[in-house]
Structure 1
Amino acid sequence: MKHGDLHVVPFVQKLPVYVAMFGINYCHADYFNMRDSSPLTVLAYVLKGQGSVTIDALTFRPKAGDVFILPKDSYHKVTADADQEEYWTYLWFNIKGNVLQLFESFQLHQTFHIPEAPFENLFHKGFELVAQHGENGERLQMELLLACTEMVAQLSGLMEKRQAQYSIEVQKMQQYLNRLEAAPFHSEHMSRHFAMSFKQINRSFKKETGTTVYNYLLCKKIDKAKMLLQDTSMAVSEIAYRIGYADAHYFSNVFKRKTGVTPTEYRKRKT
């Protein structure tokens, strides 16, 4: 259960990316929301309380001051903590259209949780813009899209700054994973390499990067596959082999889970 305030934004036909709705949620202890292969991306800033966010197989615990991103074409589950006295409160924007390209251009397509993001003022802009341009739907849509683009740009800059401050240990883990872009991944090999349990590796990696080892490497592989699908005429089976998948059917399923379309469909759209 929840209550809050939401605004539906008029659609502007000429825009490839647009804000469908925005608002604020006051989530009660029993709040639960789930989307299977979501048709939209959610960009949210937590004002109070704490909740749980699951994106495909990844789970995060956003608290006050954190940003979370629920990407399009993914499984989303959002729940409030059952034992907190205050409402889990967050500002949110629902963005539709070619959102992936926007997030890719700012290197945020692998990012789902950004702790301690000092951008609350940007997320309040939606309500300010309604007060200024509420009677002009097209102007409102354009201003909201600019505001969301500014949020994404600022978050990207924050992540870039933090990446430069990763511990030596996590930087070495990233370098190790980057070398596996074209090879199969075995958690036991990584454990042996770093003389740590894989659970310890994953915990350290996620704490600093905001994502798991597996998701970091998977995004690298999917990005490589996208490039090969767009820029070459290689068969899907050859592309699968080049990014470390012996089974092309399995690769196609992984690709669709991550992007919402099969490799063949992706190639048709991009050529």
Structure 2
Amino acid sequence: MLPKVNFVDETEIRPPYVHRKRRAGEQILYFIRHGEMHLLEDGKPLILKPGDVCLLDKDRTHEGTKATTCNYYYVHFMHGEMELVDAKEEEVARQQFERRRKAMVKEPCEPYGSYDESKIWLPKYWHIKKVTDQIHIDELIKQAIAEDYSTFENHKILCACRIQEALIEIARCFATAERERTAGGFPESYYKVQKIQEWLNASYAADISGERLEEEFDGNFDYMNRIFKRVTGQTIFQYLTAVRMEHAKRLIAQTTMHTGVIGQEVGYPDEYYFSKVFKRNVGMSPRAYADSLSKNKS
């Protein structure tokens, strides 16, 4: 469900301006670029600095407490499915969030039917540490502003899509930081595992070896494989095989490609070897898998 974006823009406040006391009646997202913003929301003080994101609740009163210079993006929006988690529910929410992130780390592809079950876990107030993540979110909000000012058809829908992307990116950054915090003292290793997963998801059809991975990630393969298994429960090549099998199953289900061509598309030039790997991992040959799909449709 897309947010309904009422206002999105960049602005800068300077002394003596201070945010007036108000209850907005809509969610407000602040993303601080430069300077500081001092707020009070229902009696709780907030000091926002560069790289900080903050979601103000539609039903809570907020006001400025100090005149400062601050450059920031603001997004005023409504989302019918956005719920605020209170303090009593926070630990339960964190556990649900942790289980979902662990599951996502281990699965190469999210099932198509999971759209209806997907949730975006957003922090109310959080600092985005990595500059590359800040730049990405900055660019998404810039695109949203451009669409909001556009005169072309469906520009408000595209604006809402960009804000939804920004919210998902914030949620992903938050998820990664939470996993790093609970990862038992190897946050940098966890980040490297994510990068390896992203690369495998994009390059699964290539000829991938331990030597190739060492070149791509400037590290020892045995070490990378150990930390990869510690985080995901799988070795690098077990994960790569799972990715390839998911894509192979999709091609079997959605195309009329010959088995040998499908094998080449997912990284197995040898048709016989592809069929062998497929049967070992899926439980049946590619042809049998295609027949089972036909029977289910009829």
The normalised TM-score by structure 1 is 0.47
Of Structure 1 and Structure 2, the greater strand share is in: 1
The normalised TM-score by structure 2 is 0.43
Higher relative contact order (CA 8 A, sep 6+): 1
